[in-house]
A and B are shown apart, each in its own frame.
Chain A
């Protein structure tokens, strides 16, 4: 679950991390009492807003209105700006960087800090990064914070504030089940205060049940992906035209890859999982048909999956949706032969292997079958 900046900042504030004052608006008329002078910031779930013209200063309320109307509705890397955040402008002395992520290889949280904030962290030279793993069972120790501020070259009164912010950000990271807590820039003001200039927060989807209040957040999903998410189906829209559905994430990825090698391009990633319940298969197929594929490629490798009931689900979905999209299916599992017969009866194309199925799907699309 990704958070818009202003929502992330509200959570930061809850944990005692200093954030600038701000107001949010979905329409210019909603802006009444912004902190002036302010920055008008597009709220989108994608980085690089500044460069795209999504962050601009305003000195008066009139200016704030004018700029907000410019930014609202803007398209930033495919994301439409639905809200703006008008935030107190900071007198910046210095910009730092601070984040907590999960290091998969070390299987531990990783603290990264740098005196070179305000730019993409990937572009900061390695020797300018302070990196420290935090043993999850121990937590963040004072010496780690001391070494960090020393490395950042901060005067005592600033170092103390940064240490305090890091401690609170780590508490947030753990308690909110975060995958990423990033403050970039972490601003040192001319007045000697340290404050979060930006806020990035990503919370683990698997922990949604512990944070039900986040389940309603707008995510960067297409309408169909949103529908799938609500139904608990793993579904991603891709830029090809062949609807791919398989069982298991690895096999679905491999099916897309094989299709590509055979000259086709997948339009969906749909992981049916371990089910052979015809209703669930039908539900998944309905979603797939809504994505308007030119051909559907179904690839099931089931040890205990009943192939015939999967085929019945396919038949049912095509009937319910009155769809005449061709289906190429490779279903390996119990009662394979019965499954093939069901598919043939409704004019679909059974295949023996995934390679053959992918090739057939490309042929059918080209009108060769």
Chain B
């Protein structure tokens, strides 16, 4: 078992004909992902990297039994694409696109709940289950199969940490990039629930950052419900208040969302927090 994504997942790529869509379709196929279809309105009948392209997600479901979607379409069209995927009955929708208006996300995320669909992202690197499948844009070669579940709000910082984990001998069960936006489909706490329930995952790494209270809520949840060892890193200890640090969600508002508050919450819950990103591997060695 793994979290959310396995080698059996049948993936449709929405926006497969765009530069990003095409490039990452190739990389996902090379990783072993079953990319069974692409969708791109008006481009039905063509092929990208040998993958058949349909005009709609519904056709990809009907003809190729797609059951998960990864979305690369530009921000103004993402709400449409996400709702289309949910309407077609897909239960996993990974949204890579960044800079989606919050009010669009505020609509399609509650809608996903009514449809029983899990949304990962937006503004995220995706999900990867090493040796099984990848629905995302992360560099495949730094990952290695193992028993550590990784949850992260960031992209490249996650690669940095995963790279250190792999070099330190700590492989990953699944790595979920939950996204850097203030409103995301699956938050830290919900991802923790998945890893706590996953038999293959023995340890959990949480990569948080300033902004919001997701880490504080996750820490309280860990304290009460998580029996597996958890280690964490929090980015933005030196970020000034009131500034959006690149990610739309990375902003200290008033006295809310500071790194100190998150580090304290983790420590109070018995979760060691790494000072340097690479120290995650050392902390895992102590679990």
Q: Name the distance in Å between B257's Cβ and chain A's nearest Cβ.
A: 9
Whether B247 contacts A249 by the Cβ 8 Å rule is yes
What residues of chain A lie closer than 8 Å to B152, measured between beta carbons? 250
CA distance A158 to B148 in the complex (A): 58
Residue of B nearest to A209 (CB): B76
CA distance A354 to B154 in the complex (A): 17
Specify the main secondary structure of chain A where it touches its partner.
mixed
* With contact pairs A236-B243, A249-B154, A269-B245 given, residues A207 and B103 touching in the complex (Cβ less than 8 Å): yes
B138 CB-CB contact with A under 8 Å: yes
Residue of B nearest to A260 (CB): B238
* With contact pairs A107-B109, A254-B277 given, residues A204 and B157 touching in the complex (Cβ less than 8 Å): no
Whether B276 contacts A253 by the Cβ 8 Å rule is no
A30 CB-CB contact with B under 8 Å: no
Q: Name the distance in Å between A174's Cβ and chain B's nearest Cβ.
A: 6
B233-252 vs A, CB cutoff 8 Å, 1 = contact: the mask equals 10111111001111111100
- B52-97 interface (Cβ within 8 A of A): 75-76
| Size bracket of the B interface | 35 or more
* With contact pairs A250-B154, A251-B157, A253-B250 given, residues A355 and B278 touching in the complex (Cβ less than 8 Å): yes
- B120-143 interface (Cβ within 8 A of A): 138-142
Whether B103 contacts A238 by the Cβ 8 Å rule is no
A208-237 vs B, CB cutoff 8 Å, 1 = contact: the mask equals 011000000000000000000000001010
CA distance A249 to B183 in the complex (A): 17
A131-155 vs B, CB cutoff 8 Å, 1 = contact: the mask equals 0000111000000000000000000
Whether A102 contacts B102 by the Cβ 8 Å rule is yes
What residues of chain A lie closer than 8 Å to B141, measured between beta carbons? 303
CA distance A248 to B140 in the complex (A): 17
Contact for A253 among B159, B210, B248, CB less than 8 A = B210
Whether B101 contacts A206 by the Cβ 8 Å rule is yes
A248-273 vs B, CB cutoff 8 Å, 1 = contact: the mask equals 11111110111111000010010100
Whether A250 contacts B99 by the Cβ 8 Å rule is no
**Interface hub of B141, B142, B180, B276 (most chain A Cβ within 10 A):** B276
Q: Name the distance in Å between A326's Cβ and chain B's nearest Cβ.
A: 22
What residues of chain A lie closer than 8 Å to B217, measured between beta carbons? 105
* With contact pairs A109-B106, A204-B101, A271-B246 given, residues A253 and B235 touching in the complex (Cβ less than 8 Å): yes
What residues of chain A lie closer than 8 Å to B39, measured between beta carbons? none
CA distance A258 to B157 in the complex (A): 12
Known pairs A266-B238, A354-B160 / 9 extra A-B pairs, C-beta < 8 Å: A107-B106, A108-B106, A207-B103, A209-B76, A249-B209, A250-B158, A250-B246, A253-B235, A253-B236
Q: Which chain B residues have a beta carbon within 8 Å of chain A's beta carbons?
A: 27, 75-76, 99-103, 105-107, 109-111, 138-142, 152-160, 163, 180, 182-183, 187, 207, 209-210, 212-214, 217, 233, 235-240, 243-250, 254-255, 275-278
Q: List 21 A-B contacts (CB under 8 A).
A: A102-B106, A104-B212, A107-B109, A107-B183, A204-B102, A206-B75, A209-B75, A210-B101, A236-B243, A238-B240, A247-B156, A250-B207, A253-B157, A253-B236, A253-B250, A269-B239, A301-B160, A302-B156, A303-B140, A304-B139, A354-B160
Q: Which chain A residues have a beta carbon within 8 Å of chain B's beta carbons?
A: 102, 104-105, 107-109, 122, 135-137, 174, 177, 179, 204-207, 209-210, 234, 236, 238-239, 246-254, 256-261, 266, 269, 271, 301-304, 353-355
